[in-house]
C-alpha cells in the first residue's frame, strides 16, 4: 500500500488534537485518553457517563463528517473479522496493562512531561517499528 506524505494536513490535524486535549483539560480537568474514556462508558452509569458518551459520539461523528465532505480516505482493511477482533482485544488488554493508550500517554502525558508517559510512548514507537520491520522485511507482507 502506497501512502502520500501530507505535512500540511498532518500539521493541522496535530494542532487540532493538541488544542482539543488542552480544551478538554481546561474545561473538565480530565486527560483525553480514549481508552480511559471508553472504559468509563463500559462501567456502570455514573455522573460522567454523559460527557464520555458525547466524546465518543464526537469522535465517530467527526470522522463521518470529514469522510462525507471528501477529506478523509477510506481505510483498506484486508484482515478477517476474527483477526480484527483478536487485535482489538489485545489492544484493550495492552491499554489496561500500560495504564493508558497512545492518546493519553503520547499527547496528554508527554505534554505534562510525565516520565511514565514518555517511557510508554517510546515503547509504543519501538514496538511499532519492530512490528513493521518483521511484517515487511521478514514475513514479506505489506
pTM > 0.85: no
pLDDT digits (tens, 9 = 90+) for 26-42: 988 888 888 888 888 98
Residue 133 in grid coordinates = 520491520
SS3 141: coil
Measured torsion, CA atoms of residues 115, 118, 119, 122, in degrees rounded to the nearest 10 = -170
pLDDT score for 81: 92
Environment class of residue 7 by beta-carbon count within 10 Å: exposed (0-12), middle (13-18) or buried (19+)?
exposed
Environment class of residue 80 by beta-carbon count within 10 Å: exposed (0-12), middle (13-18) or buried (19+)?
exposed
Name the nearest CA neighbour of 78 among 9, 127, 135.
135
pLDDT digits (tens, 9 = 90+) for 61-116: 998 998 889 877 777 888 899 999 998 888 888 888 888 888 889 888 888 899 99
**pLDDT tops 90 at residue 54:** yes
Q: CA-CA distance, 24 to 1, in Å (whole number)?
A: 35
Dihedral sign for Cα atoms in the order 35, 37, 41, 44: positive
59 vs 73, higher pLDDT: 59
Amino acid at each position: 500500500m502506497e501512502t502520500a506524505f501530507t505535512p500540511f494536513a498532518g500539521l493541522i490535524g496535530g494542532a487540532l488534537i493538541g488544542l482539543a486535549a488542552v480544551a478538554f483539560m481546561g474545561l473538565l480537568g480530565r486527560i483525553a485518553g480514549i481508552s480511559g474514556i471508553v472504559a468509563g462508558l463500559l462501567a456502570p452509569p455514573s455522573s460522567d457517563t454523559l460527557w464520555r458518551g458525547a466524546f465518543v459520539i464526537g469522535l465517530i461523528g467527526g470522522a463521518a463528517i470529514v469522510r462525507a465532505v471528501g477529506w478523509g480516505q477510506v481505510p483498506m482493511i484486508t484482515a478477517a473479522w476474527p483477526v480484527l477482533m483478536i487485535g482489538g482485544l489485545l489492544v484493550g488488554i495492552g491499554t489496561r496493562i500500560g495504564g493508558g493508550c497512545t492518546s493519553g500517554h503520547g499527547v496528554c502525558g508527554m505534554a505534562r512531561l510525565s516520565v511514565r508517559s514518555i517511557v510508554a510512548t517510546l515503547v509504543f514507537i519501538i514496538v511499532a517499528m519492530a512490528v513493521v520491520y518483521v511484517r515487511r522485511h521478514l514475513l514479506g507482507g505489506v
